[in-house]
Structure 1
Amino acid sequence: MSADPIALARDLINCPSVTPAHGNVFDVLDAALTTLGFTVHRFVLGEPPDGPTENMVAIRGEGGPHFGFAGHLDVVPPGDGWSSDPFQTLIEDGVLTGRGAVDMKSAIAAFVAAVSRVEQGKGTISFLITGDEEGYATYGTPRIIDWLKERSIRPDMILIGEPTSVDRLGDTVKIGRRGSVNMWIDVPGTQGHVAYPHRADNPVPKLARVVAALNAVHLDDGTEAFPPSNLEFTAVTTPTQASNVIPASATAQLNIRFNNLQHGADLVRMVEEIAEREAPGSTVRARISGEAFLTPPGPLYDVIVAAIEEETGIAPELSTSGGTSDGRFLIELCPVVDFGLPNATMHKLDESAAVEDIHALSRIYERILRKVVA
């Protein structure tokens, strides 16, 4: 029986699932996939703040080719100022509104509906769904990969349903993503009264030298597939905001989005060296979210591009722009491509997707499946 992607999207959105997510939202997807003949495996890992995180691996069929669909049921916090309840789906004038409508519960619903319409004649279809993509993924997709490896399960290709389209559905497919590393530079000092600076040691000018030196670094000019890497400072803080106190320490927060000319660990070492040179005694804390990756041309490109062109009549741009995705982990298994809805309202107030775009996305996913496993 064919599944309705709009009804399923509504059911998923109506389950609050701010990252890290577990529980009811997975129950809804579990029920939909079990009805379609999938064997569903679920496991919950971790404790706060990065957990508990639920993951799901659902499998139907056996042997090759193995087509995997990856995604996440967690969402970012809705924030204040919505025109309607973010976790009670609203449909008006052909537009579906709710947190997760774009990123990315509607895409998961669209793929479920696509699977329901395809008579699988060969191979394997799997869903690789996490509850921690919007967070640090500590207990998310990397643990799904561990689960698959322990059972010697390896997809031949993976499609991630992230919202990649820009101006209209189908105009952009992500064939790779930049890497990302967050860092915090801590410069120590000695607290004191601003009127007696000789009795204190002000860390702010030292940190300013570090910021200036790093801001002057030219990382690279990019590649044919990737834009240049960029380093951006996102915060500078001290323990006290009093205007008459020299602080005991100062911290700068930064993020580097980097292409495949760079590696996260090398960038951390570069920042450590510059920080020590400009402010001896400083320390650097780092969290590498993922390395840059690029899927080379091959069968996965071919089936996705062909399906998009058949449904929409447009040839998608193959891009590596924007943020990262869990493809940074899944590329370890096989070729990975991201493709989904227009992304203009992702993470915004009144996040929304056109109902017809959700239906059309499901038809594109159906075309892809028919080319691979029908």
Structure 2
Amino acid sequence: MAAVTAPDPVELAQRLIRCPSVTPAEGGALDELETVLGGLGFRCTRLTFTEPGTADVANLYARIGTGSPHIAFAGHTDVVPVGDTAAWSVDPFGGQRVGDEVIGRGAVDMKGAIAAFVAAVGRLLEERGGDPGGSISFLITGDEEGPSINGTRKLLEWMQAEGEQPEMCVVGEPTSEAALGDTIKVGRRGSLTARLTVHGTQGHTAYPHKADNPVHHLTRALRRLIDEPIDDGSSHFEPSQLQITSVDVGNPAHNVIPASATATLNVRFNDRHTSDHVLGWIRARVHAETTNFELTPRISGESFLSPPGALTDALAAAVQEVTGRTPALGTGGGTSDARFIKDLCPVAELGLRNATAHQVDERTTTQELRELCAIDHAALRRLLAP
């Protein structure tokens, strides 16, 4: 096999940050990765998925090797908008290095982790003369920060149709809290948003007996929902949480009892529930206050736990080797594309510190980029045959 040269994780992270890939735009980030991975010997396939009513999304699948074990890395190059550009200390898409920090949108979530894993793979291939000792693949999507319709889910469907079956997968989401590698995510809470609309009878505030005030019913129902815990947690998950994110009556008149009132609820639920169970729990408590209501849900994902095993053992040992830390196996935070991948193979998430994700001056350090690269490299050496 031809000799390969591993990219530098810091320089690659900077190049990726310079691609303005605000979801769902590709912004040149997949072009950059395809060039680098192709140079390492990967077979790269670009896939654009579509669906009516949504933006087309470009994705990248790349693989080297044909044998087992097959280790996959999943990530996203799309980023959230920068917000007020004037509030940044640097160009958010400049990929600028300031002292020991790399600052820019996507530095943490999650172009830095992609760069670290690519560099780790390059280092492994350098050591092994281009033969990984199995197979390594990259699943890179462009809509994780968006509706997640034309990205990972459809990429996984394509992989299954093509017989591309990883045996385990690392997702590069920023899981670390106080220090790099202190947390590996082995599951995620489920998430649903529900719009609750309570109907009443419009009328004059001077004659309330001739009306039926939906705001009163709604507020009593909301009090029930927030006063009663959904559960007290489980062995791997914290208690499920319901948050009221909006209450809207849309009534400009002070002397009119409105005809309806609406609230928006978000629930992050653990593995003791399905989304249907949570919706049933909500309906029962609202029904105790009024029968004249509608509940319109949108399910972001179900809760899941990917049981600890060979993958988490290798990642934890690698973190210990590089940093001296023993990572916790956690399930907190928001959703990620791991919720789709868990149906294909065991999955675990490990990435940079998440303190500045989605913030102005999102940043990481060159030291942590290099340490994450070393962790990924150490894990690959354990998972792939020498």
Q: TM-score range by the shorter chain?
A: over 0.9
Please state if 1:68 is matched with 2:72: yes
- Residue 127 of structure 1 is matched in structure 2 by 138
Q: Which amino acid aligns with 1:335?
A: P
Which residue, out of 114, 122, 134, partners 1:116?
Answer: 122
Unaligned regions of 5+ residues in structure 2, if any?
Answer: 126-130
Q: Is the CA contact 2:51–2:150 (under 8 Å) kept in the aligned structure 1?
A: no
User: Distance in 2 between the 1:10 and 1:216 partners?
Assistant: 48
Please state if 1:240 is matched with 2:244: no
The normalised TM-score by structure 1 is 0.94
Q: How does 1:1-374 map to 2 (within 5 A)?
A: 1-46=5-50, 50-80=54-84, 81-119=87-125, 120-192=131-203, 194-195=205-206, 197=208, 200-373=211-384, 374=386
User: Distance in 2 between the 1:48 and 1:247 partners?
Assistant: 36
Tell me the alpha carbon deviations over residues 259-283 of structure 1, each in whole angstroms, 9 at most, x when there is no partner. 1111111111222333344222211
How far does residue 116 in structure 1 lie from its aligned partner after superposition? 1.1
**SS at structure 1 position matched to 2:109:** coil
Percent identity over the alignment is: 48
User: Distance in 2 between the 1:29 and 1:304 partners?
Assistant: 24
- Residue 128 of structure 2 is matched in structure 1 by none
Q: Which amino acid aligns with 2:355?
A: A
Structure 1 range deviating more: 105-114 or 126-135: 126-135
How far does residue 125 in structure 1 lie from its aligned partner after superposition? 0.4
Q: Which amino acid aligns with 1:43?
A: L
User: Distance in 1 between the 2:200 and 2:60 partners?
Assistant: 48
User: Distance in 2 between the 1:16 and 1:190 partners?
Assistant: 51
How far does residue 69 in structure 1 lie from its aligned partner after superposition? 0.3
Q: Which amino acid aligns with 1:285?
A: T
Q: Which amino acid aligns with 1:100?
A: G
User: Distance in 1 between the 2:61 and 2:45 partners?
Assistant: 5
Structure 1 range deviating more: 337-346 or 321-330: 321-330
Structure 1 range deviating more: 14-23 or 206-215: 14-23
User: Distance in 2 between the 1:129 and 1:192 partners?
Assistant: 55
What is the root-mean-square deviation in Å for CA atoms of aligned residues?
1.9
How far does residue 121 in structure 1 lie from its aligned partner after superposition? 3.8
The normalised TM-score by structure 2 is 0.91
| Change over 3 Å in CA distance of 1:242–1:144 after alignment to 2 | farther
**SS at structure 2 position matched to 1:129:** strand
How far does residue 243 in structure 1 lie from its aligned partner after superposition? 3.7
| Change over 3 Å in CA distance of 1:273–1:6 after alignment to 2 | same
| Change over 3 Å in CA distance of 1:263–1:331 after alignment to 2 | same
User: Distance in 1 between the 2:208 and 2:160 partners?
Assistant: 59
User: Distance in 2 between the 1:187 and 1:128 partners?
Assistant: 43
Q: Which amino acid aligns with 1:214?
A: L
Q: Which amino acid aligns with 1:106?
A: G
Structure 1 range deviating more: 52-61 or 95-104: 52-61
How far does residue 50 in structure 1 lie from its aligned partner after superposition? 4.2
Tell me the alpha carbon deviations over residues 172-207 of structure 1, each in whole angstroms, 9 at most, x when there is no partner. 111111111111101224555545546654321111
Q: Which amino acid aligns with 1:17?
A: S
User: Distance in 2 between the 1:212 and 1:310 partners?
Assistant: 50
**SS at structure 1 position matched to 2:136:** strand
Structure 1 range deviating more: 17-26 or 32-41: 17-26
How many residue pairs match? The answer is: 374
Q: Is the CA contact 1:21–1:73 (under 8 Å) kept in the aligned structure 2?
A: no
| Change over 3 Å in CA distance of 1:188–1:85 after alignment to 2 | farther
User: Distance in 1 between the 2:159 and 2:26 partners?
Assistant: 20
